[in-house]
């Protein structure tokens, strides 16, 4: 009999695995699926990045060899220059930057590098599922910090019991936030986080994967730009969303050199790092600005179109300041329905796939996340289908 570890058995089913099953069922019924489930960018990687990759692979065979695990110096320098330009944060490329095979990998390995059985990690709920699951996989114990709409989806630090705080090793924060789309509007919150982390000797793991996908003049901060942040924290970043490079698997962690040294040490035992040609393509990516603006403009166009259309059926969704998601309560008359059940009904009836809020944690129940990852013209189709779906119920609807 095959008997996997308790850790594996204790994991909830991976959210996007559940969505994939729903999609497969819809495909088998020959439904024309509009996939707004996973945050998987549909736009192509910008041309200059592709050209750099092709040129490098073709003309520089040394890049075919094992890479430098923590990232080649040129890559780490490019990150450090980008941080200076973008956030006015100084990073020593030698020991304050580590290349990652995507930030998902980095976050997961980070937990292994730091957690012993029973160590507590303060995890937001709802959250990007890896923030929770990686703690379980590493043998740690997540303590949920509810992100509630009435608190602007920020955790309330005073609500964390003293005895939990004392036993906590890591606090995870992620703004712009997946799935709630919340952003940091007041840097005082981050200052309070630093004080809290200092008081209880907690590492802050700040996930900034969506820092560049912002709208209406909002500019996302880096945690590291706050005084004292580097004493307590590290920031995780991804090329996936900013440069439409989700399939390339490249990201980085930066910040406190001592903390990062343990991540790098752990990783040196489990992987060989990001392929050198991908790192060099990443260096090219960090030079681009126009292409990033185009990506953001395209997401914004989709968001504006879709939100505008849904208003017509009285489904009011607040425009997000960042990310390519909409986070919305399950509309009336379905409001009491569990989000997984609603998502199932939605895809079965309309062919539209969304992510159920409960897949992001207990406090996501009652909501769904809609990813803006398909051609803008498809949102008209999606709207027509939703209108029909919602008009079946005579009471009309609203998510207020
Ligand atoms: C908050 C957050 N962090 C990290 C990631 C993963 O990024 P990567 O592709 O770099 O592993 C995602 C992907 O959706 C995300 O939403």
Query: In degrees, to the nearest 5, what angle opens at C-alpha 324 toward C-alphas 13 and 381?
Result: 90
Residue 70: inside a domain: yes
Residue 190: inside a domain: yes
**Is 178 touching ligand 1 by the criterion CB < 6 Å?**
yes
**Is 240 touching ligand 1 by the criterion CB < 6 Å?**
yes
**Is 295 touching ligand 1 by the criterion CB < 6 Å?**
no
Bridge partners of 232, per DSSP, are none
Residue 189: inside a domain: yes
Give the pLDDT confidence of 118-171 residue by residue, as tens digits: 899 999 999 999 999 999 999 999 999 999 999 999 999 999 999 999 999 999
pLDDT at 282: 98
Give the pLDDT confidence of 299-318 residue by residue, as tens digits: 999 999 999 999 999 999 99
Residue at a domain's end among 255, 285, 315? 285
Give the pLDDT confidence of 64-89 residue by residue, as tens digits: 999 998 999 999 999 999 999 999 99
Q: What is the DSSP string of 73-101?
A: HHHHHHHHHHHHHHH-----TTTSEEEES
Most ligand 1 atoms within 8 A of CB, residue of 147, 175, 240 to mutate: 240
pLDDT at 121: 98
Q: Does 346 lie in the same domain as 201?
A: no
**Is 235 touching ligand 1 by the criterion CB < 6 Å?**
no
Residue at a domain's end among 285, 304, 321? 285
Percent of the chain with pLDDT over 90: 87
pLDDT at 391: 84
Q: Does 245 lie in the same domain as 159?
A: yes
Over residues 267-288, the mean pLDDT reads 97
Query: In degrees, to the nearest 5, what angle opens at C-alpha 206 toward C-alphas 216 and 141?
Result: 135
Q: Does 106 lie in the same domain as 70?
A: yes
Residue 400: inside a domain: no
Q: What is the DSSP string of 240-295?
A: TTTTT-GGG--EEEEE-HHHHHHHHHHHHHH---S-HHHHHHHHHHTT-SHHHHHH
Q: Does 135 lie in the same domain as 18?
A: no
Q: Does 33 lie in the same domain as 150?
A: no
Q: Does 304 lie in the same domain as 275?
A: no
User: For 116, what's the count of Cα atoms within 13 Å in the CB-facing half-sphere?
Assistant: 1
For residue 299, give its domain range: 6-45+290-391
Over residues 182-191, the mean pLDDT reads 98
**Is 134 touching ligand 1 by the criterion CB < 6 Å?**
no
Q: Does 310 lie in the same domain as 263?
A: no
Residue at a domain's end among 285, 312, 346? 285
Q: Are 176 and 323 in contact (CB under 8 A)?
A: yes
Q: How confident is the model at residue 396 (pLDDT cuts 50, 70, 90)?
A: very low
Q: At 277, which CATH number?
A: 3.40.640.10
The residue to which tokens 């990686």 are assigned? 134
Q: Measured in angstroms, how far is the CA atom of residue 339 from the centroid of ligand 1? A: 22
Q: How confident is the model at residue 248 (pLDDT cuts 50, 70, 90)?
A: very high
Q: How confident is the model at residue 6 (pLDDT cuts 50, 70, 90)?
A: confident
Q: How confident is the model at residue 350 (pLDDT cuts 50, 70, 90)?
A: very high
Q: Does 131 lie in the same domain as 29?
A: no
Q: Does 339 lie in the same domain as 272?
A: no
Residue 398 has pLDDT above 50, yes or no: no
pLDDT at 94: 97
Over residues 288-306, the mean pLDDT reads 98
The total number of structural domains that make up the chain: 2
Q: Does 149 lie in the same domain as 270?
A: yes
Residue 176: inside a domain: yes
Give the pLDDT confidence of 354-391 residue by residue, as tens digits: 999 999 999 999 999 999 999 999 999 999 999 999 98
Residue 103 has pLDDT above 60, yes or no: yes
Q: Does 59 lie in the same domain as 22?
A: no
Residue 400 has pLDDT above 60, yes or no: no
Residue 196: inside a domain: yes
Residue 78: inside a domain: yes
Give the atom of ligand 1 at the shortest distance from the alpha carbon of 237: 10
Q: How confident is the model at residue 393 (pLDDT cuts 50, 70, 90)?
A: low
pLDDT at 330: 96
Give the atom of ligand 1 at the shortest distance from the alpha carbon of 239: 10
pLDDT at 146: 98
**Average pLDDT over the chain, rounded to whole?**
94
Q: Does 17 lie in the same domain as 165?
A: no
Instruction: Specify the range with the lowest mean pLDDT, choosing from 18-32, 241-255, 311-325, 341-355.
Output: 18-32
**Is 209 touching ligand 1 by the criterion CB < 6 Å?**
yes
Q: Are 71 and 91 in contact (CB under 8 A)?
A: no
Q: How many C-beta neighbours within 10 Å does residue 263 have?
A: 23
Q: At 26, which CATH number?
A: 3.90.1150.10
What crossing angle do the helices spanning 15-28 and 339-350 adopt, rounded to 10°?
30
Q: What does the DSSP 8-state code read for residue 158?
A: G
Residue 268: inside a domain: yes
């Amino acid at each position: 009999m095959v008997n996997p570890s308790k850790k594996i058995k204790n994991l909830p089913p991976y959210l996007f695995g559940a969505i994939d099953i729903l999609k497969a069922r819809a495909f088998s019924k020959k439904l024309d699926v509009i996939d707004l489930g996973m945050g998987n960018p549909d736009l192509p990687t910008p041309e200059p990045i592709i050209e750099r990759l092709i040129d490098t692979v073709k003309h520089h065979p040394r890049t075919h060899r094992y890479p430098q695990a923590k990232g080649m110096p040129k890559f780490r320098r490019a990150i450090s220059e980008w941080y200076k330009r973008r956030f006015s944060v100084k990073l020593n490329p030698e020991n304050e930057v580590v290349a990652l095979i995507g930030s998902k990998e980095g976050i997961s390995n980070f937990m292994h590098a730091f957690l012993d059985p029973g160590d507590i990690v303060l995890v937001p709920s709802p959250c990007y599922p890896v923030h929770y699951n990686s703690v379980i996989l590493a043998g740690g114990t997540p303590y949920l910090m509810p992100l509630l709409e009435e608190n602007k989806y920020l955790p309330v630090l005073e609500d964390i019991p003293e005895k939990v705080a004392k036993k906590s090793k890591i606090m995870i924060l992620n703004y712009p936030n997946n799935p709630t789309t919340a952003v940091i509007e007041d840097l005082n919150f981050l200052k309070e986080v630093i004080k809290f982390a200092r008081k209880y000797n907690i590492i802050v793991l700040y996930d900034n994967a969506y820092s560049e996908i912002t709208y209406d003049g909002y500019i996302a901060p880096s945690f590291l730009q706050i005084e004292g942040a580097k004493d307590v924290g590290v920031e995780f970043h991804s090329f996936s969303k900013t440069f439409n490079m989700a399939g390339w698997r490249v990201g980085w962690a930066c910040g406190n050199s001592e903390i990062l040294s343990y991540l790098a040490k752990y990783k040196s035992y489990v992987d060989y790092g990001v392929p050198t040609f991908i790192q060099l393509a990443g260096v090219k990516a960090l030079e681009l600005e126009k292409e990033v603006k185009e990506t953001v403009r395209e997401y914004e166009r989709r968001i504006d179109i879709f939100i505008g259309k849904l208003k017509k059926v009285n489904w009011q969704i607040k425009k997000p300041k960042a990310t390519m998601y909409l986070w919305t309560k399950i509309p009336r008359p379905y409001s009491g329905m569990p989000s997984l059940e609603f998502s199932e009904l939605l895809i079965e009836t309309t062919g539209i796939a969304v992510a159920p809020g409960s897949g992001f944690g207990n406090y996501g129940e009652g909501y769904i996340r809609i990813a803006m990852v398909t051609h803008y013209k498809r949102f008209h189709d999606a709207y027509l289908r939703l209108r029909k779906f919602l008009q079946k119920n005579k009471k009309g609807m609203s998510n207020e």
